[in-house]
C-alpha cells in the first residue's frame, strides 16, 4: 500500500481531531483579524475566536455562501495582502460576477501535495504518463491537477480540452497510462476510440474523473471500454480546487482530507443530518492562507461513511455525490433531483449513460418533465413494440420514484450533445415561459 504523506494519512483519530481544533482556532482568529466580512459576521452572531473551545463550537460560527464571494468580488475575502497572492482562479461566472479565489505560495504547495496524495492513493506511480484533458486557465482542474502530477513525479501531458481524435492520438503516441477529464467526456472518448477501432492501441490503466456526478453504471462502462480502473474525484475552487476528496483503490467512498478540511452535513434548516442521511456538504478550510472560508455551503449533496477503510487511511469518507442541492427541481410542488432520475435510468439495461431532462410549463399552467434518453446500440431492434415496452417501463419506474409523471423520448446513441466539460443534464424552460407570458401581458 502506497502513501504520499503516511504520517498524516494514517494519523490516529484523536490526534487528527486535536490538529483540527488547533487549526480551527488559528483560522478563525486569522479571518476575524484580517477579513472585515468575517469580523462583521462573527459580531452579528455574537461569537469571537476565543469562544472556540472544542470542535463542537464550530456550529456557533457564521456560515458562508457563494453569494458572499460575489458580493466581495474580486479580492474582498482575501486574508493576506495582495503582494502575498501568487495566483488567482475564478469560476465561469455564468450567473452574475465570477467567484475569485486566491493562493499564496504555501497554498500552492499544500494543493500540490493533496493532489499527489490522491494520485498515489489511486495507484499512480512515478513512471506513469498522465494526460490532463481538461481546460487550463481560470478553471482549477487544469493547473491544480497538473501541479499534483509533477509533485508526485509522473509525466504531465497537458492536452487541454477538445479535438477528441487528437486526444486519442496523443494517448497512443505518448503511451499514456493515466487520464483525467470529466466522466461525460471520458464516455465520449471511449465511444470514439471504439468507433475508430483503436481501443487495443491504448495503454491506459487508471482514469481520474470528476467535476460532475456520475453513476456506478458509467464507471462500469468506462472500466470495460478503456480497460482501466476509474476513480471518482471531488473538489471545488472555493476550498482549493480538485483534490479535496478522492477515492482509494477500494472504490467505495471518497476520503476527504480532514487535516485540511472540517466537514459538516446539514439539512435545509442548517441542522446536522443523522448518520447516513444525505444533506448538503458544508466545509471549513483549516490551512488555506490567501482565502480561508468558514462553514462554506458547497451546494453538494452527500453523506459521511463512518466505517473504517481497509486502505488504512483514517480520514472519513464521503459517499459518492448525489447531486447539487441547488439542482433540485420543484415540479408540481414535488422535489425532484436529477440524481434520482439518473439512478432509475441506469437501472434499465437497454438505456445508455446520456440523458437530458427538460422541464417546461405549458399553456395550461402545469409543469411537465420530458426526458431524452439514449438507448444502447443493441436495444434498437427495429420493433416498435420493443421501444414502447422500454418507454413504459422507464416512465413507470420514474413515476414510482419521483411521484410525478414524466414523458420519455427514446433516441439513438449519439443524439445528445457531447462536451469536453460538464454535461448539461437539466434544461429548465419555465423561466422562458414566464417571461413570454409577462411580455404578452404588457403588449
pLDDT at residue 362 tops 80: no
Lowest mean pLDDT: which of 53-62, 132-141, 149-158, 323-332? 323-332
Instruction: Write the DSSP assignment of 205-235 as a string of letters.
Output: -EEEE-SS---HHHHHHHHHHHTSEEEEEEE
Please state which CATH number belongs to domain 1-322.
Answer: 3.40.50.12780
**243 by DSSP, 3-state: which?**
strand
pLDDT at residue 196 tops 90: yes
Q: Residue 420 — pLDDT band, cuts 50, 70, 90?
A: low
Query: What's residue 94's pLDDT?
Result: 41
Query: What's residue 330's pLDDT?
Result: 67
Instruction: Please confirm whether the linkage preceding 132 is cis (ω < 30° from 0).
Output: no
Query: What's residue 352's pLDDT?
Result: 85
> How far, rounded to the nearest angstrom, does the alpha carbon of residue 135 sit from its chain's CA centroid?
15
Instruction: In whole angstroms, give the CA distance from residue 193 to residue 228.
Output: 14
Instruction: In whole angstroms, give the CA distance from residue 132 to residue 139.
Output: 13
Closest CA relative to residue 90, chosen from 142, 43, 168: 142
Instruction: In whole angstroms, give the CA distance from residue 358 to residue 424.
Output: 11
Q: Residue 436 — pLDDT band, cuts 50, 70, 90?
A: low
> For 329-422, where are the E strands, in sequence order?
329-331, 334-336, 351-361, 367-375, 406-411
Q: Residue 333 — pLDDT band, cuts 50, 70, 90?
A: low
> How far, rounded to the nearest angstrom, does the alpha carbon of residue 329 sit from its chain's CA centroid?
19
Closest CA relative to residue 421, chosen from 223, 163, 212: 212
Q: Domain segments of the chain: what residues? A: 1-322, 328-442
Closest CA relative to residue 368, chosen from 342, 412, 336: 336
Cβ atoms within 10 Å of 239's Cβ, excluding its own: 25
Closest CA relative to residue 329, chosen from 414, 206, 413, 431: 431
Closest CA relative to residue 69, chosen from 90, 41, 50: 90
Q: Thinking of the domain 328-442, which architecture would CATH place it in?
A: 2-Layer Sandwich (3.30)
Amino acid at each position: 500500500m502506497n502513501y504520499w504523506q503516511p504520517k498524516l494519512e494514517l494519523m490516529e483519530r484523536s490526534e487528527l481531531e486535536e490538529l483540527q481544533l488547533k487549526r480551527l482556532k488559528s483560522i478563525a482568529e486569522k479571518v476575524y483579524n484580517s477579513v472585515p466580512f468575517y469580523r462583521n459576521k462573527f459580531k452579528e452572531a455574537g461569537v469571537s475566536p476565543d469562544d472556540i473551545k472544542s470542535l463542537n463550537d464550530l456550529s456557533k460560527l457564521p456560515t458562508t455562501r457563494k453569494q458572499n464571494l460575489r458580493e466581495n468580488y474580486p479580492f474582498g475575502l482575501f486574508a493576506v495582502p495582495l503582494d502575498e497572492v501568487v495566483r488567482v482562479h475564478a469560476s465561469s461566472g455564468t450567473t452574475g460576477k465570477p467567484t475569485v479565489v486566491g493562493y499564496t505560495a504555501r497554498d500552492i504547495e499544500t494543493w500540490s501535495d493533496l493532489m499527489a496524495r490522491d494520485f498515489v492513493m489511486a495507484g499512480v506511480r512515478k513512471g506513469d504518463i498522465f494526460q490532463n484533458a481538461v481546460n487550463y486557465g481560470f478553471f482549477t482542474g487544469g493547473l491544480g491537477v497538473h501541479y499534483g502530477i509533477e509533485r508526485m513525479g509522473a509525466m504531465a501531458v497537458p492536452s487541454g480540452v477538445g479535438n477528441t481524435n487528437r486526444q486519442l492520438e496523443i494517448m497512443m503516441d505518448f503511451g499514456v497510462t493515466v487520464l483525467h477529464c470529466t466522466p461525460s467526456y471520458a464516455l465520449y472518448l471511449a465511444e470514439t476510440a471504439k468507433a475508430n477501432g483503436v481501443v487495443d492501441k491504448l495503454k491506459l490503466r487508471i482514469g481520474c474523473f470528476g467535476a460532475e456526478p456520475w453513476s456506478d453504471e458509467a464507471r462500469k462502462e468506462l472500466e470495460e471500454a478503456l480497460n482501466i480502473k476509474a476513480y471518482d474525484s471531488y473538489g471545488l475552487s472555493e476550498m482549493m480546487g480538485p483534490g479535496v476528496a478522492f477515492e482509494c483503490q477500494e472504490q467505495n467512498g471518497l476520503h476527504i482530507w480532514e487535516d485540511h478540511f472540517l466537514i459538516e452535513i446539514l439539512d435545509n434548516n442548517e441542522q446536522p443530518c443523522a448518520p447516513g442521511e444525505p444533506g448538503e456538504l458544508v466545509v471549513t478550510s483549516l490551512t488555506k492562507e490567501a482565502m480561508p472560508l468558514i462553514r462554506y455551503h458547497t451546494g453538494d449533496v452527500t453523506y459521511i461513511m463512518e466505517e473504517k477503510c481497509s486502505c488504512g487511511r483514517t480520514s472519513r469518507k464521503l459517499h459518492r455525490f448525489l447531486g447539487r442541492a441547488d439542482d433540485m427541481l420543484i415540479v408540481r410542488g414535488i422535489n425532484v433531483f436529477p440524481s434520482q432520475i439518473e439512478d432509475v435510468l441506469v437501472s434499465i439495461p437497454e438505456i445508455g449513460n446520456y440523458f437530458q431532462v427538460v422541464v417546461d410549463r405549458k399553456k395550461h399552467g402545469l409543469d411537465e418533465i420530458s426526458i431524452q434518453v439514449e438507448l444502447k446500440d443493441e436495444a434498437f431492434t427495429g420493433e416498435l413494440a420493443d421501444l414502447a415496452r422500454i418507454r413504459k417501463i422507464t416512465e413507470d419506474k420514474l413515476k414510482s420514484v419521483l411521484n410525478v409523471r414524466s414523458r420519455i423520448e427514446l433516441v439513438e446513441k449519439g443524439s445528445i450533445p457531447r462536451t469536453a466539460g460538464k454535461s448539461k443534464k437539466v434544461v429548465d424552460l419555465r423561466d422562458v415561459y414566464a417571461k413570454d407570458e409577462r411580455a404578452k401581458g404588457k403588449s
